[in-house]
Chain A
Amino acid sequence: MNYVGTLMYSMLVGLATTIEIFLLTLVLSIPLGIVVALARLSKIQFINLTAQFYIWIMRGTPLLLQLIFIFFGLPLIGLTFDRLTAAILAFVLNYCAYFGEIFRSGIQSIDNAQYEAAEVLGLTPVKTFLRIILPQAIKRILPAISNEVITLIKDTSLVYVVGIGELLRAGKIASNRDATLLPLFVVGLFYLILTAVLTKTFKGFEEKFSYYR
């Protein structure tokens, strides 16, 4: 037990980085995901195809590779980012594509009758989307979003590749140094706690949206 206590400081520092990357990615990629969904649904061929291409690239290559490309590859053409910026950029670009597809599925699941009702009532297309379609879509996609968010908290461990120390890395360092697996178990426990909190939070959101059917 004393040994676990000595690990805590470095673990908590790692945890802070994990949460930082997690929150920044979420805050940026969820709203941008709505934009990607709208682009993907656009009737303008150019916008639609661009969105499709973007989603193909982002979902079609490993996030790890994208991280490496942004941090080590882009400097070759003169685009240099610091570690954290590169990591956030890669995560946001990647998660945006997934969130975009989730939002698209939600938006498309809303019956055309809702658009028609809004149209004959004289709501503008923007108001129709924001006040009628999106709130209903969000209720339907919450379970899928929750899935993606839980995947994200674990994906943050990939940032080790650009040299950022986060939770898993803190555990690995301690494990190698002290020749014991115990730190990795502690890391696993941390992830489980994070996931439990997220699960509970999303359950709360779902209940909040359960006022109607």
Chain B
Amino acid sequence: MSSVKDWAAPNPITENRGGLIGKGVDRYEGRLKVTGSAPYAYEVDAPSRPAIGYMATAAIAKGRIARIDTKAAEASPGVLLVWSHLNAPAQAPRGTRANPRSQRPSNPVLASDRIENFGQTVAFVVADTFENARAAANLVEIEYAAEPGVVDFVASLDQADQPPGEEDVHIGDFPAAYAAAPVSVDETYESPIQNHVQMEPCATTAWWDGDKVTVHTSIQMVKGGQHALAETLAIPSADVHLLTRYIGGGFGGKGQAYDDLILAALGARALGRPVKLAYTRQQMFHGTIHRPAVSMRVRLGAQPDGRLTAFAVEATTHCARNAIFTEHAANFSRNLYAAPNRLTGHRLVKMDLPGAGPMRAPGEAPGMLSLECAMDELAEKLGLDPIELRIRNEPEVDPETGKPFSVRQLVRCMREGAAHFGWERRKAQPRQVRDGRWLVGMGMAAAIRGNFLLPAKAGVRIDADGIITLRQGMTDIGTGTYTILAQIAAETMGVPMEQVKVEMGDSDFPPAPGSGGQFGAATAGSAAYDAGMNLRKALTELAVGDPNSPLYGGPAEYVTFENGNIAIENRSETLAALVARAAPEGVYVEGSISPAADARDYSQHTYGAHFAEVGVDVVTGEVRMRKMFGVFAAGRILNAKTAKSQITGGMIWGVGTALTESNVVDPRYGSFINQDMAGYLVPAHADIVDLDAVFLDEADDKANPMGIKGVGELGICGAGAAVANAIYNATGVRLRDYPMTPEKVLAGMLAVGL
């Protein structure tokens, strides 16, 4: 087990002699993407023309299929097969693992007559064309025996239980301290069901060669997908070759395998030809996971100087009855502000809705919508600036565990953000600034998101032409992974970017955990770095042991790698010359990373501060963004362009969270009424005005050998709260029910006499 002490020593990444670390190089796969030539899962070349699959889905929330008639579908033109639960191929029972090391258990499709959620797959058609498959799927006749289901979250809050295996965290005596606090806030905030709405719907193309299946699918986790398919089909995972080279967005929603993967593989096996299958946009809303709604009660008790003495964040959320998941919306608050008396915890309602699961910054993203507004409310009661209130509650050590922070620049984020944004222009009293029909206001919020490192491996080879190829079972969901891995490999080996190839998204490659939890860059990157260091060792041994090398005889400890050369002072040769001569078949090594045992001795997070300026239309209640700015501290930044894009993308998600995004449940069917992109509104070009972000200089030597941290999720954390606080500052209307749509804002303005 490694130690954080091992990570503190200088290394090629931290020394950055080639200057590639941090540089805003263009995306590695960029030319493929701007020319439309990157093949996504539905678009790959198969050995022969694929047949096309199409799913029919359930129209009730709960019950069973009383009768299903597929005769008309079977007789429809071009149809090759029609499956329902009556004739679907045998699959392993749900939740089983034939191989105990499988990362995901079996998840069979069409396994019984039971309906567990609206949109569940109830029939599968394969036909010669998309048009024929879709038409036939619509001919499947189904009669349901519906049963009452729990689909209304707010009406079911009284059914909430402690999540399995979890306890509330009590520190000090919260009830007594809260009762004694001279200034207090006790408010409840509601965030709705949200949907990932990745631009690329989930899709799979599958074909078989004997007992082995090849699947190209859109998934964030290579091994998880491979194992889920193998377990479900009850075949060895070695017989599943899973590829996921280009992924049209993930955001957590593609962290698991869905029915497209299972059905495409089963269909291809049954027909003896390639089959491909994509979710429709409507099916994505119900057939894949969503972020659950969260109801959050925040109680803050403070002294007149602003110091918090009592602090409670309690979150109630929901998940599907048979897929337990807890949105840990209170967790972030355990590390954010000092307060001696604390209570945090979660409650969970099991419902008959589609599955809840991780979506960009699970926990923090909805959770910060509550506390970061409650702090704004408390600041106003205290007559303090919201930044000053946060500074007065800045902890010296982790407020819950007492552990030291690895590095924490939250106060600097807030101060520098305030200066850059022009926070001094903000009027402490709300409703003071008017611009024509617009009321104008400013708000801010803090950002925190945990940092993680998981075990990973990577392989790297150098060939006789000097080209270095990094291979890893990692994914790039738009986050820039191809690019930052190429930068890491090139900087570690002292070669230009053009000399590096990155191959990913293949279950045959050394495994990495994939993209999620903003652990991807640190985890995959650290393994890639380690593989590079091992290649340096191998090439050093090769050179100093080769009588034909100018480096012959060493000393090995003086060997350097720069500008494509391996050198000892003025004795040098190119890597290509060395390999071509001494190892013409190439050199391949692997590397790995695992979390350091003593990393747990530190409280480790990424931080930021959001600033938002909005205009609120006094006639319609419409909120328009005017300006948004963020300052973030997230370790060493690998690529200025791609990291900033991650962060500003997250901030824009915060705008959607604050203003438009919400899936509304139809209580009759347990469905989402708004199940397409005209009804579920994500931000569009015109919604985003003057939005920018910067990173503070930082390196976190407790994080990993490179001192980097994740940036994929930090940007959304707190962003929506900054917008909500700006709406209050503009109007004097304190809304606590996201999203803050015109009808809610208008009702609030009418209530205060506007």
Q: Do A and B bind each other?
A: no
Residues of B within 8 A of A (CB): none
